[in-house]
Amino acid sequence: MRGAVFSSLCGALLLAQDVLAQQPVSVAGYSAPKWVLRRDGSSSYACKCYPGDYCWPNNGQFQKLNSTVGGNLRVNIPPGAPCYNTFKGPLGDVKTYDAAECAKVTANWYDEQWQIEQPAAGLWTYFTNDTCRPTTNPSDSCTLGYYPALVIMAKTTAHIQAGINFARDNNLRLIIRNTGHDFLGRSVGWGSLVINTHSFQDIKFTNAWRGACDYNGSAVTVGAGVQAFQVLKQANALNPPKVMVTGECGTVGVAGGLVQGGGHGPLTNFYGFLADTALEFKVITADGVLKTANAKINPDLFWALRGGGPAAFGVIVEATYKTFDDKPSSGVSFDLALSSNATLFWEAVRIFHGYSTHFVDNGLYRSTLPSALRRLVLSSHLHHRQPTTNHCRHHGRQHPAVCRHHGLDGLPMPASQPLLDALGS
C-alpha cells in the first residue's frame, strides 16, 4: 500500500499534470527553462517544478528513471492512508482502505523504528501538516500534505546518482532521507523527490586506518543508512570493545544529518563532536559525481560536510570515523514535571543550567529537553564515564553497548538537592 510501485500509478499522475498544466514562463536572471513563476501578493518567485506544473516530467521520463534505478522508484502514499477509503494525492483519488494494515499503522504510529522504516515519513509528523494520521473513520480526508511525491529506495551508488541527475535536470525539489529524525522536517517536503538511503548498511572496522591524514588508529566506515545502535552493537562485540561518538539517541543515523550538523553525544566531552572524529567521506555532489573528501582530497568539501548543514553539499554514501577503546560509564535520567507554577519551574531550569559548567568540568555529558507545551517538563540525561551497577533502566530497548552510557547508579548528583530545594516538596 505505502510506496505503491510507480508504474501502476503514473498514468494518473500524467492526467493530473495535463489538467493543471501551466504555460512556460521566463524569469529574469535564471537561464534554466524550467523554473516556475509563482506569485504571492505583489511578490513573484521562481520556483522548482512540482506535480501539476507544466514542467513536471512525463510518464515516459518517470518510467525511464524507474528502470535506471532498478524498479526502486515509488509513488509516495502517506503511511496513514490504509485507514482511509481514499487518498487524495497528486495522482487523483486512490483507494487505500485496508483494515489489517490500518490496525498495524495505528499500533506502530509512535514507534520510532517503524517510522524510520517507512520510505518517506518524518518522525515529527507536524512537518507533513498531519493531513493523513491514522483514524477510526475511513471517510475522513487523507491528503499528501507536505509529504514527498516520489521516493527512490536507493540500493546502489548509481541509484543515488540517477536520482540527483533527474532532479537537477528537471528542476525538482530533492530531499535526502535517512531516518527521518530531522527536528526541522528537512527529510520530508511537499511535491519532492526523495532519495532514501536507509539500505546502505555496510559497517567495516579497522585497527589501523590508512588514509589522507596523520591518524593511523582504529576506525569504522559506515554506510549512509547505518544507525547508532547498529554500529555501537558491532563495536562492542570487538575484542577489545570499541565505541565511536554518536548522538544520544540510538536510532539517529551516523553518516547523514548528524555529522553534517556537528553531532554531539555522550562521548563528546572526551572526543569532541562526531564531525571532529570524521576521517573521510564518499559523497555524490550535485553534478552527480561520486567524490572522496578527506584532509587531502577535496578538503573544502571535507570541511563543509563536518558541520556545514545537512544535505547542503551532496549525498553522503559512506563515512569513516575514528573509534576509541570502550570504557565503563554510567548515567542518570530524570524528568521534572509540574502541572502549574511556571515561575518555580523555570527557576528550577535556571538552577539546573547553572550547573552546566560544573557537569562538563567533571566529565559529564548532559542533554536536556524543557517542554512547556502541555505541562512543565524538564527531561534531562546525564552521562559519566565511570562504573555503574545498573544499566539501561530507561533505554531498555537499546543494546547494552549503548545503554552502558545510560546506567542510573553510582553518579554524584550535585544538582539534585538545590533542584529539590527550589521545588519545595
Ligand X SMILES: Cc1cc2nc3c(=O)[nH]c(=O)nc-3n(C[C@H](O)[C@H](O)[C@H](O)COP(=O)(O)OP(=O)(O)OC[C@H]3O[C@@H](n4cnc5c(N)ncnc54)[C@H](O)[C@@H]3O)c2cc1C
If you count them, how many residues does the chain have?
425
Q: Which residues contact 280 (CB under 8 A, 6 or more apart)?
A: 211, 212, 221, 292, 293, 294, 302, 319, 320
| Cβ proximity to ligand X, 82 vs 331, nearer residue | 331
Residue 167 lies near ligand X (rule: CB under 6 A): no
d(C-alpha 135, C-alpha 83), whole Å: 6
| Cβ proximity to ligand X, 197 vs 234, nearer residue | 197
d(C-alpha 376, C-alpha 193), whole Å: 39
| Cβ proximity to ligand X, 101 vs 112, nearer residue | 112
Beta bridge partner(s), residue 367: 381
d(C-alpha 355, C-alpha 414), whole Å: 8
Among 9-17, 47-55, 252-260, 325-333, the segment contacting ligand X (CB under 6 A): 252-260
Residue 80 lies near ligand X (rule: CB under 6 A): no
Residue 258 lies near ligand X (rule: CB under 6 A): yes
| Binding letters toward ligand X, positions 329-368, x by CB under 6 A | --------------------------------------x-
Residue list 114-133, contact with ligand X (CB under 6 A): 123
Q: Is 63 exposed, middle or buried (0-12, 13-18, 19+ CB in 10 A)?
A: middle
Among 409, 268, 385, residue whose Cα is nearest residue 333: 409
| Cβ proximity to ligand X, 83 vs 283, nearer residue | 283
| Binding letters toward ligand X, positions 184-223, x by CB under 6 A | --xx---------x--------------------------
- Residue 379, all three cell numbers: 527531561
| Cβ proximity to ligand X, 9 vs 224, nearer residue | 224
Q: How distant is the alpha carbon of residue 327 from its chain centre?
A: 28
Among 62-70, 236-244, 255-263, 405-413, the segment contacting ligand X (CB under 6 A): 255-263
Q: Given the rule CB under 6 A, which residues bind ligand X?
A: 123, 175-183, 186-187, 197, 224, 247-249, 252-253, 256-258, 260-261, 263-265, 310-311, 315-316, 367
